[in-house]
Amino acid sequence: MVHILSLKVENRAGTLSRIAGLFSARGFNIDSLTVAPTEDPSVSSMTIVTHGDDVVIEQITKQLNKLIDVIKVVDTMGRDYVQRETALIKIHTRVEDRAEALRVVDIFRARVVDSSRNSYTVEVTGDSDKIDAMINLLRPLGVKELVRTGKVALAREGTRC
Amino acid sequence: MKLTGSAILIECLKREGVDTLFGYPGGVVLGLYDHLHQQNDIRHVLCRHEQGAIHMAEGYARSTGRVGTALVTSGPGATNTITGLWDALMDSVPLVVFTGQVPTSLIGNDAFQEADIIGTSLSCTKYNFLVKRVEDLARTIKEAYYIAASGRPGPVLIDLPKDVTFATTEFSYPDSVYLRSYNPTIRGNKGQIKKAATAIRRARRPVLYTGGGVVSSGASAELHRLAELIRCPVTNTLMGLGGFRGSDPAFLGMLGMHGTYRANMAMYESDLVIAVGVRFDDRVTGKVDEFIPNAKIIHVDIDPTSIRKNIQVDIPIVGDVKHVLADLIGILEEADGPLFDTAERETWEARIAEMEAAHPLGYKTSSQSIKPQQVIEKIYELTQGNAIVSTDVGQHQMFTAQYYKFENGRDWLTSGGLGTMGYGFPAALGAQAAHPDRLVITVSGDGSIQMNIQELATAVINELPVKVIILNNHYLGMVRQWQQLFYNEHYSHSYLAATPDFVKLAEAYGAVGLRATRPEELEAVLLEAFRVKKPVFVDVQVDPSENVYPMVPAGKANFQMVFSDPDDAHPVPVPDRIPGQAPAKKSPARASAEASAATPADFRD
Ligand SMILES: Cc1ncc(C[n+]2csc(CCOP(=O)(O)OP(=O)(O)O)c2C)c(N)n1
Ligand SMILES: [Mg+2]
């Protein structure tokens, strides 16, 4: 089962190593991990996507909580969270494909953020399924390069976390 | 007043009540050593290897309940502490280790004796700090001692660049620590404790299974009270020995791989296991599905990650063992009606007595050779459980756990989680430094003692009169036992052909060396060792073919214990040369030919 863990951690050298080290030492999986500053400069937010059965997820959560640099861990599973991911996708665009490319961009409410004679770079934001779907539609046109940010998550207002 | 980093460090140690420091100097910590030289409040014990220093700090910590402190230089000095850090982490020993570091301007440049000790020790410390500014030093030290000692105790490392020890700042020591991300749970959840009380009152065949957590939280009195109140037998893990008095009739002995039959079977047949300050280690559980198939489980531990890590439990309680037990006792004492059914308890105790009668701990004595078990029994008889006892790792460790009856958990120093050969002697030195007037004994093996044997110099110079009883079987005995039982008697590299003459070796260091080779010599030699006011090595020549029983073979369930060598077992080949003695009559070739066992390749001299 895939779980998205939303963490608040101390913004210190070593925090990321400790967390990454925990996952590797105990054989837990990391599907994606993002770190970013928060409104408080001493705190970073981290979103970790991982998978495992309930016992494993419980251990991961407890082990993370045990780390002294971790302030708070929330498993977003079953809670009301907004999740987003952004991707930048560079596609080949032969003249005859441009209309199709722009149509896909439009459908997904994405944007072309860079273009050259034979390529477009598209930016898309949404939940991961949406990004997967868009990439699938663009593939036949020829995806040259692709980067994804990994997920970030934030509790919806009005729910306790 | 402005102070240098070095002066601040020493001032902070005094404020933390540190009276002893175990260490070894080197380039980047010379400023610190210069300050140590100018004060008399803190005793510095100079070890002979930094691994020795850190195990000494462990022995000091375990035997006193206070944080142990070590100080080493950068690079190799720092990396030599890694085994001890792991050891302390696994066994929850509170330590603060100061490592010197190259000046901040050189960090990352592969400078002389630079090692990334922060990176290296990330996974084997509870927490570690690199202090980059002298202004942060005092607060960091305060936090380090707090983190090491609170919650589930563990080792904390502080890396100190050389320039920070020379820089100056205004000194003030914080009175308290607040770490927003670190709040160990001390009081257990009341509702859960009530549930536990109800389960206890319903239980017909309860067992208390208790570990190192009882010792670290100082909950021995509460444990005895609870056991008495609910009339419940108690078994201890290796780390938990002494948490419950070994001489108490309710004590079942240790459980697990080399535990007693009754302890393992009482667990197996129990309907309620009250697990306190334990972590369901694999050496305890054996095959985990068949460990305690019929029992409801209450699990009390301060570390939430210990709960449901290896086994599912019914009533988890996170909290400090001492507080949780006190609350539980309070609830039980106030309950209306009896806490148990006397007839049911009598049946249960009778059942346990049957288990004991079926397979008591035991061994055969001989008029010819000293049995290792006999040595431990003799030490117990002579000390009545009043000594501090440390061990190394191997057969001798298990024999000590089985045959010495510990009265106090803080008198028992062993490397349980990591199983570190070389732990025992320095740990005993650390304990002796803290308890100058007590009898401190190390039970070691001829293999283990050669790891950290250099600390004999530390013992002599610092007048730490530890008694090292070497159960000399000329083998890495525990390895040999497994090879005999599970590897077709292929004694691959477990025979220690060139064991030094431990008597002469002790004398060379200025300590006392004694030897016992025959059973009738044993008592007098031990008494002499305990009498002299100097460090002593006692070379006890024991029967090399003795194995540790009972034993749960790896991968088997605890109820599948075996009690003696298989009938077709061959005698173990014995060496022909015992240091300090006339050669034995048999050559190894003949001895093994007679035994019709394959001659181990190592026996070629
Ligand atoms: C540092 C280290 N290396 C290897 C081992 C593996 N090991 C466990 S017991 C043992 C044999 C110990 O021999 P000895 O000290 O003579 O004790 P005995 O079993 O003979 O009593 C070994 C090699 C260990 N526990 N620690
Ligand atoms: Mg040996």
Q: What is the pLDDT of residue B577?
A: 54
- To the nearest 10°, the Cα dihedral for B300, B303, B308, B309? -140
Q: What is the pLDDT of residue B567?
A: 83
* Three state DSSP letters for B506-570: HHHCCCEEEEECCHHHHHHHHHHHHHCCCCEEEEEEECCCCCCCCECCCCCEHHHCECCCCCCCC
Do B2-170 and B372-549+573-595 show the same overall fold? yes
Distance from CA of A27 to the nearest CA of B (A): 13
State whether the beta carbon of B75 lies less than 6 angstroms from ligand 1: no
pLDDT surpassing 80 at residue B352: yes
What's the whole-number mean pLDDT along residues B51-70?
A: 98
What's the whole-number mean pLDDT along residues A98-115?
A: 94
- To the nearest 10°, the Cα dihedral for B306, B562, B401, B302? 10
Mutate which of A42, A59, A65, A68 to disrupt the B interface (most B C-beta within 10 Å)? A68
Pocket test for ligand 1, best of B283, B403, B421, B471 (most atoms within 8 A of CB): B421
- Please tell me the residue having the least CA distance from ligand 1 atom 1: B421
pLDDT surpassing 80 at residue B603: no
What's the whole-number mean pLDDT along residues B334-347?
A: 96
The pLDDT tens digits of the residues spanning B123-165 come to 999 999 999 999 999 999 999 999 999 999 999 999 999 999 9
Element at B454 (helix H, strand E): none
Classify each residue of B543-580 as buried b or exposed e, where b means 16 or more C-beta atoms within 10 Å of its C-beta: bbbbbbbbbbeeeebbbebeeebeeeebebbbbbebbe
| pLDDT band, residue B587 (cuts 50/70/90) | very low
Q: Is the dihedral of CA B402, B405, B408, B411 positive or negative?
A: negative
- Is CATH 3.90.600.10 correct for B2-170? no
The Cβ of residue B153 has, within 10 Å, a number of other Cβ atoms equal to 26
ipTM attached to this prediction:
0.88
Cα angle for residues B369, B375, B378 (degrees, 5° grid): 125
What's the whole-number mean pLDDT along residues A140-150?
A: 93
Query: In the structure encoding, which two tokens stand for residue A2, read together?
Result: 């895939």
What's the whole-number mean pLDDT along residues B187-213?
A: 98
The pLDDT tens digits of the residues spanning A44-80 come to 999 999 999 999 999 999 999 999 999 999 999 888 8
What's the whole-number mean pLDDT along residues B545-554?
A: 95
pTM over 0.90: yes
Please give the class, per CATH, of domain B190-358: alpha beta
* Phi, psi of B472, deg, nearest 5: -90, 105
Q: How far apart are CA A58 and CA A50, in angstroms?
A: 12
What's the whole-number mean pLDDT along residues B539-558?
A: 95
% of chain A residues with pLDDT over 90: 80
Q: How far apart are CA A143 and CA A136, in angstroms?
A: 10
Task: Show me where the domains of chain B are located.
Answer: 2-170, 190-358, 372-549+573-595
Q: Does B180 touch chain A (CB under 8 A)?
A: yes
Contacts of B309 in chain A (CB under 8 A): 59
Q: What is the pLDDT of residue A97?
A: 86
pLDDT surpassing 90 at residue B572: no
The pLDDT tens digits of the residues spanning B158-170 come to 999 999 999 999 9
- Please tell me the residue having the least CA distance from ligand 1 atom 13: B476
- Is CATH 3.40.50.970 correct for B372-549+573-595? yes
Cross-strand pairs, B130: B159
The pLDDT tens digits of the residues spanning B353-367 come to 999 999 999 999 999
| pLDDT band, residue B574 (cuts 50/70/90) | confident
DSSP A148: E
Q: Does B119 touch chain A (CB under 8 A)?
A: yes
The pLDDT tens digits of the residues spanning B201-223 come to 999 999 999 999 999 999 999 99
Q: How far apart are CA A109 and CA A126, in angstroms?
A: 9
Q: Are strands B68-72 and B95-101 parallel, antiparallel or unpaired?
A: parallel
Q: Does B590 touch chain A (CB under 8 A)?
A: no
**Is there a contact between A17 and B119 if contact means CB atoms under 8 Å apart?**
yes
Of the candidate ranges A122-126, B5-9, B438-442, B492-496, the one whose mean pLDDT is the lowest: B492-496
What's the whole-number mean pLDDT along residues B184-199?
A: 97
Q: How far is the CA of B477 from the centre of ligand 2 (A)?
A: 5
Report the residue from A18, A58, A68 with minimal CB separation from B147: A68
